[in-house]
Structure 1
Amino acid sequence: MNSSTLDSFMQLKGIDPHFIDAWGKPATVTDENVNTLINHMGFDALDEAALSAHYQQEETQHWLSLLPPVCVWQKASNYQIEVHLPIDFVTDALVYRITTEDGLQIDKKITATDFPLLGCNEISDVEFQLYAVTLEVELDIGYHQLTLLEEGNDQPLAVMSLVITPTVCFTPPAIREGKKLWGTSVQLYGIKSQQNWGIGDFSDLKELLTKTAESGGDFIGLNPIHALSPSQPNNASPYSPSSRKWLNILYIDITEIPELQHCQVLQNKLASAEFQQALTQLQDLKWVDYESVARLKLAALRDLFITLHDGEEENNKRLQKLSSFVAEKGDSLKEQAAYDALQFKFFTEDEQAWGWPVWPDNLQSFSSTATQDWCSENAQEIIFWSYCQWIAEEQLAEADKLAKSLGMTLGIYRDLAVGVTKNSSEVWANRDLYCENISIGAPPDVLGPLGQSWGLPPLSPDQLYKSAYQPFIELLQANMQYCGALRIDHVMALLRLWWVPEGETADGGAYVYYNVYDMLNLLALESVRNECLVIGEDLGTVPDGMDVLLKEAGVYSYKVFFFEQAEDGGFISPSHYEQQAMATLSTHDMPTIKGYWHCEDLYLGRELGLYPDPEVFNKLLVDRVNAKQQILDSLHGHHSLPDDFPRDANYIGMDQVLNFALQKHLARGCSTLLTLQLEDFLEMEQPVNVPGTSDEYRNWQRKLTHDVDSIFKDTNIHNLLKELTEARSK
């Protein structure tokens, strides 16, 4: 095959076979792997004529489209757009009409030949010319529309989206004035209480916000609270959601739903000895029993939904609010509700029905006639699932309102997962946007010599662009609601993602690139509009220059203490961390502080068969022992431990003195944000998640050992939080 044909096709699709690997060395994806990826994108990599024809088709369409689908620009005094015109139009009087977001109309007359000519192309015997047209116009940040017209003719020649953005993401005034914050991070489902139904809920979040604010904290970091699959509650990974635009309805506190006051049927159920016994059992479990929780909550929601339609005046008012919510949220809500309704129906009939790919063919997309007919025939069921989302959003909004009333600088700090599962509602509703036969992941690195494949299909870069980035915009808008900060998991996805063809190992993937400048500008716009600070999870391999781009865009870096080592193995002092960063000791994918120190993660990994041979385990163990000594030396060197505290890591376990010393050591660092895990306050050992496992370990189920009230009543923890507040104020 002519290499130029393949190169042109790869450039068109954003595929770059060259990259710097985790060891800092240049690497190249093999031709075989590139071909496999192209095949899984729906093309025949060995059919040069077909690849060339597709490239020419896209090139032709590019020239025939007088305007691009979207231009994203930082706010300035003028903007340059590329306009393609047939040669007969280049000397004609044209008008560009900008309709601003608030409805203002701005008309400007232009002639294409008054601007620089960038190129020419002949299509079907017609010459097209490309001009760089400068728009001299003052525009506020926001989403505007540009229409190209012939003078005197209101029939549009072309229409495009024109997005004007700020240069940087939002930073709260208190932080701009130098305030350093601390907060706690928690897996919401894992909160224990005598009020919840065996899973943490939005009322538990409100209690945690209150206690944290009273102790000097400024935020609570949550796991992704995206919608999962109510019909399959054991598929509980918050990082493998069904929709990132909607919420996990298992976090609803049933007892706080207004309809309960008018539902005698449910009141009687909740008061029964049988129900109370079931509730106590769920509360006492050390691991979340998702199936039992879902069964109880969905049954209760059904009862409350029936009550909503009982004709009582108060319920009629609530029903009107629900109707307004459904109308406001439009197709996005209907897509989610329809998916949940259909999946619940099919899974109830057959537990092998794991998602839309095994539904009847005519129901395998939201837009199909059969799906729309089913929705019409089952309208009340669609409204029920919409009701569930309405209640979840109401309760999250109440928690956010509470955080603001408590004076917390950030309040709720949400987490945006990098993707959705193949059988998700997002993919089902947007089949043309996703590359379904591909999974995103990571190339080989030190900890994963075969790389990683996460089972999450990627968004197509060209389809995303052709849709004027609307799916990405809606994603940001949904996740920047009801919070003061948003963490973007795997923020490198704004630039590139490692695409792994279905059925291949992760080392058989390649990087596919996105328009990072447009993505960052859109991120800044939604951040400013929602007054939402942005943290980018930038662990792992960071391409040259990406750290600078993120910093310039006002995105906060993510610094994990256990990863911040110098070349000699010593641990970098937190006083040398980036100021524009969030610092943390550990994460949900890592052991707790105590688990790390006692090497419990390594022993568990060996037990679960994660290491290919004993040598790998032994090397990791030796590295850990050395790291522990370096940590101990660093703590002593910074006088973060009492002088008489043992200095040999081989002879000291992780006690409370060492545990709290680590947390205070990090608090004295210069990073603006500090987050610490509740399980580390409690000196817990068991991890919440073991990467590389599915059924081998009970991921995303482990609860905290104490409820919120007892955590904050503990004298030692109370004193720790006081010292954290003092350390952050210096």
Structure 2
Amino acid sequence: MRSPEIYQAAQAAGIIDEYRSAKGEVLTVSDENITLLLAAMAQAPAEETGPLPRVRVFTRRRGNRIAVSRGGSWQLISEQGRCWRGSVEHGGEIKLPASLPLGYHGLILMVQEQQWHCRIIIAPSRCYQPAELKAGEKRWGVMVQLYTLRSANNWGIGDFGDLQQLIRQVADWGGDFIGLNPLHALYPALPEYASPYSPSSRLWLNINYIDVPAVEDFQLSSSAQRWWRSEKTQRQLDAARETQFVDYTAVSTLKMTALRHAWHYFCKRDEGEDERIAFAAFIEQGGDSLWQQAAYDLIQAEQAGGDGSGGDWQQWPAALRQGNSDAVKAFCQPRQNALEFYQWLQWLARRQYDRCWQVCLQSGMTIGLYRDLAVGVAQGGAETWCDRELYCMAASVGAPPDPLGPLGQNWCLPPVHPKVLQARGYQPFIDLLRANMTSSGALRIDHVMSMLRLWWIPKGKSADHGAYVSYPVDDLLAVLALESQRHRCMVIGEDLGTVPQQVVSKLRRSAVYSWKVLWFEQTAADRYRAPSRWARQAIASASTHDLPTLEGFWTRRDLQLGAKLAMYSDAGVYPSLLEDRERQKQALLNALHHAGCLPASAGKNARRMAMSPGLRRGIHLFLAQTESALLGLQPEDWLAMHLPVNVPGTVDEYPNWRRKLSQPLDGIFADKEIKKLVMAVDRRRRSRGPAR
């Protein structure tokens, strides 16, 4: 029996003491694990109480009231500056004016000399959707990991210059968006820490994506040009471009050397020049957040050793472990020029990304850039360094055990404290959305179930010792809808895996688009969902960065790779997975024939069929026929690539987040077979009948 004290404490903290396993069993979280999570949460400052709530969120415009536990006078100031005043009795309610517009407003209750503040958020009930999608039209686009792009111009990693080229070509072929991996800030001093899903900060950009030759100060700097044109530099550039996997150390060394040359030139510009004025405005707009990001990168560059030691702020000298401390300011003061260099890099990245967005608009795309918001940040990154109260450092998030992972998954990402988030009027969540929705037509939220609940794991424990912690899902969805409408940025929720029906319904009502992956769209072991039965409010795709490519799936190379990496602890798992795959392949082949996506003369025995251009085309047409409003295609599938970009559950066993595309962009777009395939998809998306 659970003690009443533990139960009440868990309820108050939002810890869910029971959960349903992947097998459907109801499991109880132990008192010990709850106690450990309560201790992790207790590191945050105690929640203040008062006669007013700290924040109230409404998705309707009329009849809204705020209950108060003390009488006094009140003042309501709208986001636009309009003011209302009144008084309220002890235990009464403040009736909000029906004319209060959508947005963020401030309510103040005054009792003698005391004041209490409440943020009032009036939000729409649904996220933004382009008119074309609401009218029933369908769109397709290309989903890429930006770093995988090859070109004759990049420096060994896909960059914003490559992205412009990709946008123009995809738009020319009829595509409407480019889906990107998270572009979040990583670690300039630790280039091999390359996972886009373990970022330093989700508020700023990865500076490795800067297209260096496009930087004006690089072009104008004579020292930069001499360095760039030297035989040694050209050999290093050629070597970086030719590798099968991104050599992050080589790329970062080249780019940082070039950009320091460019920075020295920029610093000599007159302060009245447009570029200097624009940079100064960027610094002012970025405020403390930009300063702290630059300070983090600067200090990490000084503290990090060649072996990666000292890269985590928790390993720095004690005086430098708090991002907003006086000691950090004192450290940075004599290094002002170096700090501004890192701010300048963020300015360059932001300008080049914004230019990509303008190219989307000029190309007539409805959606354009579709960004990816990671579920969290690394424990030793800039965000946790800047805001120790918001993140629970004595816990991490992950996933509970399932048949393929009996100990569950630990992602080593510290969770946001839901009570602190709420006490701040959801401002950290608002800032996060604004940083990622600006100059974007769509935002994918990784692990969207995190808005309802997250699997917390106590520090030092394996994932099977965790528990779900609740988040204020209705409030978060309302804020999401408000920012979505303001930015005209639609929202896609990554809802793969076991998703509670509660969150499925809420997402649907909020106009958050689902994600439907071909491999999971089976209604039975021997049957795939017909294209006409796919969800409309969704994006369809063959695969994801964590799942096999078409080639990998059909040849079973993904399973062979898993066996090679010793990922199957039970000897019987691998043969069982191979047999399951053969059933999946046969079911898919049957579905392709039934949907008219393969000619009648095509083979009907999956075991005897190799992947071929005709089969590849049939799968693409099947996806193009689905009712889902959006369709995301992967260049890996056009190129018959079988190696994945990421193998879940591995760290050093496989070169995750490094594998490039097998062909450069020019070669892809000059390939007549690829163009023929994509044109067939474009026609199918625009038509209503069966494939021919």
TM bucket, shorter chain: over 0.9
Which residue identity is paired with 1:432? E
2:441 counterpart (475, 484, 489): 484
Which residue identity is paired with 1:205? L
Range with greater deviation from structure 2 (535-544 or 372-381):
372-381
Which residue identity is paired with 1:97? Q
Which residue identity is paired with 2:84? I
Secondary structure of 2:523's aligned partner:
coil
The answer for unaligned runs of 5 or more in structure 2 is 688-692
Alignment-derived partner of residue 59 in structure 2: 74
Secondary structure of 1:204's aligned partner:
helix
Q: Is the 8 A contact 2:444 2:492 kept in 1?
A: yes
Q: Does 2:253 match 1:295?
A: yes
The answer for unaligned runs of 5 or more in structure 1 is 44-53, 114-129
The separation in 2 between residues aligned to 1:313 and 1:336, in whole angstroms, is 24
Shift of residue 512 of structure 1?
Answer: 0.3
Q: Is the 8 A contact 1:21 1:541 kept in 2?
A: no
Q: Does 2:93 match 1:139?
A: no
Alignment-derived partner of residue 78 in structure 2: 100
Alignment of 1:589-600 (within 5 A): 589-600=546-557
Which residue identity is paired with 1:67? L
**Alpha-carbon distance change, 722 to 351 in structure 1, aligned in 2, over 3 angstroms:** closer
Alignment-derived partner of residue 336 in structure 2: 379
The separation in 1 between residues aligned to 2:2 and 2:625, in whole angstroms, is 59
Alignment-derived partner of residue 448 in structure 1: 405
Shift of residue 175 of structure 1?
Answer: 1.1
Shift of residue 447 of structure 1?
Answer: 2.8
Secondary structure of 1:372's aligned partner:
helix
The separation in 2 between residues aligned to 1:661 and 1:449, in whole angstroms, is 37
Alignment-derived partner of residue 111 in structure 1: 88
**Alpha-carbon distance change, 310 to 568 in structure 1, aligned in 2, over 3 angstroms:** closer
Q: Does 2:20 match 1:20?
A: yes
The separation in 1 between residues aligned to 2:290 and 2:135, in whole angstroms, is 40
1:216 counterpart (170, 174, 192): 174
Q: Does 2:307 match 1:323?
A: no
Alignment-derived partner of residue 118 in structure 1: none
Shift of residue 235 of structure 1?
Answer: 0.7
Alignment of 1:49-198 (within 5 A): 61-62=48-49, 65-85=50-70, 90=71, 94-107=72-85, 109-112=86-89, 130-149=91-110, 157-198=115-156
The separation in 2 between residues aligned to 1:584 and 1:147, in whole angstroms, is 49
The separation in 1 between residues aligned to 2:74 and 2:65, in whole angstroms, is 13
Alignment-derived partner of residue 30 in structure 1: 30
The separation in 2 between residues aligned to 1:548 and 1:311, in whole angstroms, is 56
**Alpha-carbon distance change, 6 to 103 in structure 1, aligned in 2, over 3 angstroms:** same
The separation in 2 between residues aligned to 1:444 and 1:348, in whole angstroms, is 36
**Alpha-carbon distance change, 106 to 34 in structure 1, aligned in 2, over 3 angstroms:** same
The separation in 2 between residues aligned to 1:354 and 1:429, in whole angstroms, is 15
Which residue identity is paired with 1:99? I
The separation in 2 between residues aligned to 1:479 and 1:651, in whole angstroms, is 46
2:627 counterpart (670, 674, 689): 670
1:281-336 alpha-carbon deviations (Å, 9 max, x no partner):
1111111000010011111111111111114578x431221111101110110111
Alignment-derived partner of residue 268 in structure 2: 310
Alignment-derived partner of residue 660 in structure 2: 703
The separation in 1 between residues aligned to 2:506 and 2:89, in whole angstroms, is 34
Q: Does 2:209 match 1:251?
A: yes
Alignment-derived partner of residue 512 in structure 2: 555
Alignment-derived partner of residue 11 in structure 1: 11
Shift of residue 502 of structure 1?
Answer: 1.8
| % identity of equivalent residues | 42
Q: Is the 8 A contact 1:147 1:156 kept in 2?
A: no
Q: Does 2:375 match 1:418?
A: yes
Shift of residue 34 of structure 1?
Answer: 2.3
Range with greater deviation from structure 2 (254-263 or 691-700):
254-263
1:64-97 alpha-carbon deviations (Å, 9 max, x no partner):
x121111111141231212121xxxx4xxx4322
Q: Is the 8 A contact 1:16 1:512 kept in 2?
A: yes
Secondary structure of 1:440's aligned partner:
strand
Aligned residues: 687
1:170-215 alpha-carbon deviations (Å, 9 max, x no partner):
0011111221000010010010000000000001000000000000
The separation in 1 between residues aligned to 2:291 and 2:370, in whole angstroms, is 27
Give the superposed CA RMSD.
1.8
Q: Is the 8 A contact 1:335 1:425 kept in 2?
A: yes
Alignment-derived partner of residue 676 in structure 2: 719
Alignment-derived partner of residue 690 in structure 2: none
The separation in 1 between residues aligned to 2:114 and 2:287, in whole angstroms, is 27
Shift of residue 570 of structure 1?
Answer: 1.4
**Alpha-carbon distance change, 725 to 2 in structure 1, aligned in 2, over 3 angstroms:** closer
Shift of residue 374 of structure 1?
Answer: 1.2
Q: Is the 8 A contact 1:585 1:676 kept in 2?
A: yes
Alignment-derived partner of residue 116 in structure 1: none
> In terms of Rg, which structure is larger?
1
Shift of residue 646 of structure 1?
Answer: 1.1
1:589-617 alpha-carbon deviations (Å, 9 max, x no partner):
01111001111111111111111022011
Which residue identity is paired with 1:169? C
